[in-house]
Amino acid sequence: MTSLDDDERAGDRTPLDRARDEYLAHLTIERGLSVNTLAAYRRDLDRYLAHLGSAGRRDPGSVTPDDVTAFTAAVRTGSDGRTPLSEASTARAVASVRGFHRFALAEGTADADPSADVRAPNRARRLPKAISTDEVARILDAAGEGEGPGPLRDRALLELVYSTGARISEAVGLDRDDLDLDRGSARLFGKGRKERVVPLGSYARRAVDAYLVRGRPEQALRGTGTPAVFLNSRGSRLSRQSAWAVLRSAAERSGIEHPERISPHTLRHSFATHLLAGGADVRVVQELLGHASVTTTQIYTLVTPDALREVYASSHPRALG
């Protein structure tokens, strides 16, 4: 076995350096991580070892919880003289460090895990982007402007997305057999092909029916008989990218402010926000959206300070006067 003195003379490699290389080799061989993920882990650990080196640490067993906490603060603020990381990148760096120390403990190169109780800073919770019902109506109206099968399809597509809260991939994935316009329902296939049946509002039913009767047959003549509900000009299934372009174009023509903020998820977010504002139970909205956990849906229940003041002023007996 090579001695520590020999190793240090050969490039001044420390036990921390060797532990890092062994951990990265483990991730490569045993875990099979991608090249990009491994590169990110290496960058994080190189920065971490430089931080530890400046504190005089040379082996995994000498690292303390305070060292790990100080590194977390350093990457977030840039106090180590390097570029500050975003919240997401800081969380990844902390995950890299925690994995490294767990590995060192398991391999016996350290007697304790100094990162066990260290957590990344909480990431700010961002509210989904929702637009008003008036803005939704203006976009839907703009989508249907013009003659021919294109406007009929575009109006039907966006009406369906807003009516059901469907993801854009779920909407373009619809086949004819997934629709029951008589009963007013649509069968959607979400993440992992998980199936759910959702109600279809009257506006969406009329728009979809108009497209199926007066628009889709003309488009289908150019294709090879796909069962897809929404077709492109060649008679093939409409792609997600084309559906996104439909929405962006309608938003730009609608005259709403900042149409560039509109994305396919905007109508889905607005669907959930408007339902909850109208008194819908959060668990019903969870089912409609196809969320596995109600926790994901509950972000839509967060209200603005203006809404809080309005409810307080109208509800509390001594709020006014």
Q: Is residue 275 over pLDDT 80?
A: yes
Q: Who's near 126: CB < 8 A, 6+ residues apart?
A: none
Band of residue 8 on the pLDDT scale cut at 50, 70, 90: very low
pLDDT above 70 covers a percentage of the chain that reads: 86
The string of pLDDT tens digits covering residues 152-165 is 999 999 999 999 99
The string of pLDDT tens digits covering residues 23-55 is 999 988 877 778 888 999 999 999 999 999 999
Question: What is the helix, strand, coil percentage profile of the chain, to 5?
Answer: 60, 5, 35
Q: What is the mean pLDDT of the chain?
A: 87
Compute the residue count for the chain. 321
pLDDT above 90 covers a percentage of the chain that reads: 61
Closest among 265, 295, 267 to 282, alpha carbons compared: 295
The string of pLDDT tens digits covering residues 171-185 is 999 999 999 999 999
Q: Is residue 71 over pLDDT 80?
A: yes
Domains and CATH numbers, the chain: 4-107 (1.10.150), 133-278 (1.10.443.10)
Band of residue 3 on the pLDDT scale cut at 50, 70, 90: very low
Band of residue 6 on the pLDDT scale cut at 50, 70, 90: very low
Q: Is residue 280 over pLDDT 90?
A: no
Q: Would you say 75 and 84 are in contact if contact means Cβ atoms under 8 Å apart? A: yes
Band of residue 247 on the pLDDT scale cut at 50, 70, 90: very high
Q: Would you say 214 and 149 are in contact if contact means Cβ atoms under 8 Å apart? A: yes
> Residue 47's Cα: distance from chain center in Å?
28
- 270-301 core/surface letters (b: 16 or more CB in 10 A; e: else): bbbbbbbeeeeeeeebbebbbbeeeeebeebe
Provide the β-strand partners of residue 196.
188
pTM of the predicted protein model: 0.59
Q: Beta strands 195-199 and 185-189: pairing type? A: antiparallel
Q: What is the CA radius of gyration of the chain?
A: 28
Residues noted as catalytic: 167, 191, 265, 268, 291, 300
State the DSSP H helix or E strand holding residue 152, giving kind and residue range, or none if neither. helix 149-164
The string of pLDDT tens digits covering residues 180-214 is 999 999 999 987 778 999 999 999 999 999 999 99
Neighbour tally for 246: CB within 10 Å: 22
Residue-level pLDDT at 33: 76
